[in-house]
């Protein structure tokens, strides 16, 4: 780590404070001089956990060049809205109104009286092919920044959760990065690393029937032999921790997280089911606990029952017998605390008492992995 003075950090789109926690974890001497976000639920959580940080509940476009100059910051940490770039969204890119604030930042950057030394940006996979990213790189080059882009999933840090995301770190001279930069996007944390085979983006489409026919026979559930093999291989990756290390130890009433009978009957064949011994889980999105398909994994809490045996010939049974069979697995949602654990939030992170479980899932689904960002901050500074 360079001998650096205490850095003044501006946290834009601050959400529930994932960037702030990453900054703390990185051990870089720094203070967040202001956090900016318009989401009232996220702001309540941020204030609850960082009561002494100035939080500006306003739009970024509502801030003038003078407002930014007054903050006199050395670093920007930001996670602009990802909806314009997700592969299942409309991909409005720069025409999406939600991109407006980000383009406003790019417009302000060259005009700041003192440009920040460091910039870190996080977004979804898909951002790297957008016009917004082209505008970002153009602005950085004009302002003489050196930069590096990454696509990283927490699995490359041994965390059993796929959340493939785009990251960019930028630095102003003097000084360069401590690693050789590349015009290519680096996948994972090491240049030599092959693309992260465990990473499944959160908008990974469920294969259609015709695609399934092409990829092999369906074994059980709506999974092909290839999909099943991939999951088995992920569970053999000993460099990745087991999910049990992230589960709540205290005896909270877990029954309230059990999947209701109606959900079991309707979605049993579409769920991604994992066990405490698994070394994988799919990305948790803001719809978790509300929608079932493609929003995150569910946990089989009764491990004495073999998953395959429950799903074998399931479709031949009556609804009553089908339910009886499925209930044996004791399938439950991961709790918000467990998802926060997988996303690297520290033990002292908490939600205000009045916050509903649904609200907690929503904000976590919009957040980022703290450990990944912490590593990137260290990489950017050193």
Chain center to CA of 266 = 27
d(CA 379, CA 167): 12
Q: Do 184 and 194 meet the contact criterion of CB atoms below 8 Å apart?
A: no
d(CA 63, CA 38): 12
d(CA 171, CA 311): 53
Say which residues have a Cβ less than 8 Å from residue 281's Cβ, sequence separation at least 6.
160, 161, 162, 243, 272, 274, 296, 297, 334, 342
Considering only CA atoms, give the Rg of the chain: 22
Answer yes or no: 82 catalytic.
yes
Q: Do 338 and 311 meet the contact criterion of CB atoms below 8 Å apart?
A: no
Q: Of residues 82, 143, 283, 302, which has the active-site annotation? A: 82
* 380-to-150, 175, 188 alpha-carbon distances in Å: 12, 11, 15
Tokens for 296? 């995150």
Residues marked as catalytic: 82
């Amino acid at each position: 780590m360079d001998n650096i003075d205490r850095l003044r950090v501006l946290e834009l789109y601050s959400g529930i404070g994932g960037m702030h926690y990453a900054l703390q974890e990185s051990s870089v001497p720094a203070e967040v001089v202001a956090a900016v976000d318009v989401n009232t639920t996220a702001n309540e959580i941020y204030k609850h956990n960082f009561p002494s940080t100035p939080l500006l509940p306003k739009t970024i476009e509502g801030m003038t060049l003078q407002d930014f100059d007054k903050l006199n910051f050395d670093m920007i940490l930001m996670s602009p809205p990802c909806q314009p770039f997700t592969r299942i969204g409309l991909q409005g890119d720069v025409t999406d109104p939600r991109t407006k604030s980000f383009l406003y930042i790019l417009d302000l950057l060259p005009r700041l009286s003192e440009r920040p030394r460091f910039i870190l940006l996080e977004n979804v996979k898909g951002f790297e092919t957008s016009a917004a990213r082209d505008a970002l790189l153009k602005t950085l080059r004009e302002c003489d920044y050196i930069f590096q882009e990454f696509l990283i999933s927490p699995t490359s840090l041994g965390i059993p959760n796929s959340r493939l995301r785009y990251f960019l770190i930028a630095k102003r001279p003097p000084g360069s990065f401590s690693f050789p930069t590349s015009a290519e996007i680096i996948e994972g944390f090491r240049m030599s690393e092959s693309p992260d085979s465990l990473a499944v983006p959160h908008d990974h489409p469920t294969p259609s029937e015709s695609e399934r026919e092409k990829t092999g026979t369906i074994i059980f559930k709506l999974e092909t032999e290839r999909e099943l093999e991939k999951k088995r291989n992920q569970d053999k990756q000993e460099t990745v921790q087991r999910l049990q290390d992230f589960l709540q130890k205290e005896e909270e009433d877990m029954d309230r997280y059990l999947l209701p009978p109606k959900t079991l009957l309707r979605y049993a064949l579409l769920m991604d089911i994992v066990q405490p011994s698994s070394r994988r889980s799919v990305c948790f999105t803001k719809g978790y606990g509300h929608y079932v398909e493609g929003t995150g994994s569910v946990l089989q809490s009764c491990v004495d029952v073999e998953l395959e045996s429950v799903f074998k010939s399931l479709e031949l049974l009556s609804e009553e017998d089908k339910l009886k069979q499925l209930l044996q697995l004791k399938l439950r949602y991961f709790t918000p605390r467990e998802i926060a654990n997988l996303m690297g939030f520290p033990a002292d992170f908490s939600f205000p008492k009045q916050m509903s479980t649904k609200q907690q899932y929503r904000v976590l689904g919009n957040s980022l992995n703290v450990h990944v960002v912490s590593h990137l901050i260290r990489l950017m500074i050193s």
